[in-house]
Structure 1
Amino acid sequence: MNLPVAPPVAPMLAKAVKAMPSQDGTLFYEPKWDGFRCIVFRDGDEVYLGSRNERPFTRYFPELVEAVKRELPPRCVVDGEIVVIAGQSLDFDALQQRIHPAASRVRMLAEQTPASFIAFDLLATGSDDLMEEPFSARRARLEEALAGAGRSVRLTPVTQDERRAAEWFEMFEGAGLDGIVVKPGGLPYTPDKRVMFKVKHERTADCVVAGYREHKTGPIVGSMLLGLYSPDGRLHHVGVAASFPMKRREELVEELAPYRVGDSGEHPWAHWAEVAASDRQTGAMGGSGAAAGQRLPGAVSRWNAKKDLSFIPLRPELVVEVAYDHMEGERFRHTAQFRRWRPDREPKSCTYEQLERPVVFDLDDVLAR
């Protein structure tokens, strides 16, 4: 490739803030997309899809490579997000399935669950390196560059109206978006630096602690496995709580020891190991361990097939309150944050019914703005 900005480039990042930054006359507000961050490099028929960790996505999304050739300028570098749109909203589970080692499955999934690219920054076009230009200028050039785009490459909406951004924050969650990104208009493109701002939803839920995984450094708690009961009485794995200080990880081992299960066959997730073994034999990739309609905590990781996802089972008697940003299907999209133990709650009362569900919003309406 012969571009003014060459791959790999680490994307510019955002730091989390509790409240929406007030408009000072320079800020731009955008929806926060929930997908795979990607910087697209195109030089004629050469296309490179760079991931957040600067490794290529190119082989996993052949349909996007062709879309870039059809819908982006002949020579450009564009920052954005790869998403899978299902019906009216984003489908992150389907997007995760796209990372697969088998070329035949990559081709099949490209047809069954085609990805789209949501563009939100322009690093270069033609022979012009725009990284030192202010964001306000890059956004204007991006709108020009995407004037001929179609359905596979889309331009993210943007506003400088703080009140409208607050409306978007509440409204767009129903389409699968998880917050607002705020960009100072004078900001140059700064790779791998948290110079933007992001505001995300935060809610709390009471969950059953049904096990834990050990930390990579040794026999201390790495993450606690969380569960919620469905109406049919089955305990589903919905995510993990982690990010404990090292001293606290050591203390948790002693606190959880009385709840360890002697016979794992009595645990509600006992059959996850059979599912994991089957996945390994068939080459299936996934992290949910779903079987017979139940979410389980173990299977082959699609990111690292050698990663140990085994866990130490606990009697499902402890309840913990955790904070989370939003749900992806029936699980927490990101790692939940420990808030406090809830000895006053009965484990069986920890059901999906307590979760707040956002009003559904059509993704096409989001992009039309």
Structure 2
Amino acid sequence: MKHEPISPMLAKAVGAVPEPNSVEGGLGYEPKWDGFRAIISYDGDTIEIGSRGAKMLTRYFPELTEALPRLLTEPCILDGEIVVAQGDTGSARLDWEALSQRIHPAASRIRTLAESTPAMFVAFDLLARGDTNLLSEPFERRRDQLVEVAGGKGHPLHLSQLTTDVTLARRWLVEFEGAGLDGVVAKPLAAVYAPGKRTMLKIKHHRTADVVVLGYRIHKSGSGVGSLLLGLYNDEGVLRNVGGASAFTDARRLSLIDELEPLVLRDATGEVAPAETDRSRFSSGKDVSYVPLRPELVAEVKYDQMEGSRFRHTVQLARWRPDRDAASCTFEQLEVPAAYDLSTVLS
């Protein structure tokens, strides 16, 4: 079995769980898992794990590369999410912090974490079976074959739930948050698999975006990071400044200096490379210099609104995304509110 690398199909944000008949052919609904999106390829012998940003994750999950060949009885390519759960039966929930610790350079540390906080793979799509490429098949048929290939295999391989009942999906949106899940995904049942396209719909508990950390400004006290400068790639592939994240504790400001140090851009003499943001009528008298970073670090941020091509207000840093490739952080991911007539609001 030999297939070219596949870029995962993506989802665009919507404000509420849509009705099933809002899309031709109907919708299926799944829980939205809060983990590392992964494409798992099994050639009948070995497992390879690719991330959403084409970053290889294979070395970080030895428990999966060892277990999945025993569970899968035929070559295949699976789309799904790698997650880590913590807690006792009845109170277990997804643990992002434990999962993100896996992106570590030391193999010994990875092995220790694989034993203490083992990961599992939740499959929700089947992209190939043996030598047969399934991308052109409708999702409903791919799901049927996914059940045949990966259903009932046992831990750490699980199937994501799927329903066509919109009432149940709306209940999931509320209830599953307590287990650490991130919302609900709606999938057109008749749609083919469209790599890199936002064909699916996602309904989350809050608005989030994955952004590139461009640099930072020193806190007004002169100590630690005062704010992070954030960027997104536009349609031309140009990285644009979209705003900042701040409001860190004293301890966090200091720790960020150490975390970001390896990414600081320096000139030939070893000094920090000079950098300034564009001036505006609001910043004409302010210091707009900042410490530039190599555009490699991805952060997930919480935001409320966009104003043009920038965040309307300062955003909140939620977490680092070591599984994400910076080039995948584009404006396309942002939720765009539906147009609404102001006169209707005023009346």
TM, length-normalised to structure 2: 0.65
**1:154-192 superposed Cα distances (whole Å, 9 cap, x missing partner):** 000010000000000000000011111000011111100
Aligned with residue 193 of structure 2, among 157, 171, 189: 189
In structure 2, do the counterparts of structure 1 residues 85 and 307 end up closer, same or farther at CA, with 3 Å as the change threshold? farther
| Separation in structure 2 between the aligned mates of residue 18 and residue 222 of structure 1, nearest angstrom | 23
The residue type paired with residue 153 of structure 1 is L
Residue 68 (structure 1) shift: 1.3
CA contact (8 A) 2:140 2:190 kept: yes
Residue 98 (structure 1) shift: 0.3
In structure 2, do the counterparts of structure 1 residues 117 and 299 end up closer, same or farther at CA, with 3 Å as the change threshold? farther
Q: Is residue 300 of structure 1 aligned with residue 259 of structure 2?
A: yes
Q: Is residue 141 of structure 1 aligned with residue 145 of structure 2?
A: yes
Q: Percent identity?
A: 47
Residue 200 (structure 1) shift: 0.8
The residue type paired with residue 103 of structure 2 is I
Give the corresponding residue for 2:123: 119
SS of equivalent residue, structure 2 residue 247: strand
Task: Please list, as runs of the form range in 1=range in 2, the aligned pairs for 1:42-61 lying within 5 A after superposition.
Answer: 42-61=42-61
Task: Please list, as runs of the form range in 1=range in 2, the aligned pairs for 1:269-308 lying within 5 A after superposition.
Answer: 269=251, 272-273=253-254, 276=255, 297-300=256-259, 305-306=262-263
Give the corresponding residue for 1:224: 245
Give the corresponding residue for 1:213: 228
SS of equivalent residue, structure 1 residue 154: strand
| Separation in structure 1 between the aligned mates of residue 102 and residue 30 of structure 2, nearest angstrom | 26
**1:77-102 superposed Cα distances (whole Å, 9 cap, x missing partner):** 00000001112100000100000011
CA contact (8 A) 1:169 1:180 kept: yes
Residue 73 (structure 1) shift: 3.0
**1:289-325 superposed Cα distances (whole Å, 9 cap, x missing partner):** xxxxxxxx55426xx94258x9xxxxxxxxxxxxxxx
Residue 222 (structure 1) shift: 4.5
CA contact (8 A) 2:6 2:39 kept: yes
Residue 225 (structure 1) shift: 1.2
CA contact (8 A) 1:13 1:194 kept: yes
**Aligned residues: CA RMSD:** 2.9
Q: Is residue 132 of structure 1 aligned with residue 136 of structure 2?
A: yes
CA contact (8 A) 1:63 1:110 kept: yes
Give the corresponding residue for 2:286: none
Give the corresponding residue for 2:17: 20
List alignment gaps of at least 5 residues for structure 1: 228-235, 237-267, 277-296, 311-332, 341-369
In structure 2, do the counterparts of structure 1 residues 103 and 172 end up closer, same or farther at CA, with 3 Å as the change threshold? same
In structure 2, do the counterparts of structure 1 residues 86 and 182 end up closer, same or farther at CA, with 3 Å as the change threshold? same
Q: Is residue 11 of structure 1 aligned with residue 5 of structure 2?
A: no
Counting matched residue pairs gives 245
| Separation in structure 1 between the aligned mates of residue 11 and residue 304 of structure 2, nearest angstrom | 23
Task: Please list, as runs of the form range in 1=range in 2, the aligned pairs for 1:59-78 lying within 5 A after superposition.
Answer: 59-78=59-78
SS of equivalent residue, structure 1 residue 110: helix
| Separation in structure 2 between the aligned mates of residue 36 and residue 307 of structure 1, nearest angstrom | 26
List alignment gaps of at least 5 residues for structure 2: 209-219, 232-237, 266-271, 273-298, 307-347
The residue type paired with residue 138 of structure 1 is R
Task: Please list, as runs of the form range in 1=range in 2, the aligned pairs for 1:191-340 lying within 5 A after superposition.
Answer: 191-202=195-206, 211-214=226-229, 222-227=243-248, 236=249, 268-269=250-251, 272-273=253-254, 276=255, 297-300=256-259, 305-306=262-263, 334-338=300-304
SS of equivalent residue, structure 1 residue 20: coil
The residue type paired with residue 213 of structure 1 is L
In structure 2, do the counterparts of structure 1 residues 16 and 272 end up closer, same or farther at CA, with 3 Å as the change threshold? closer
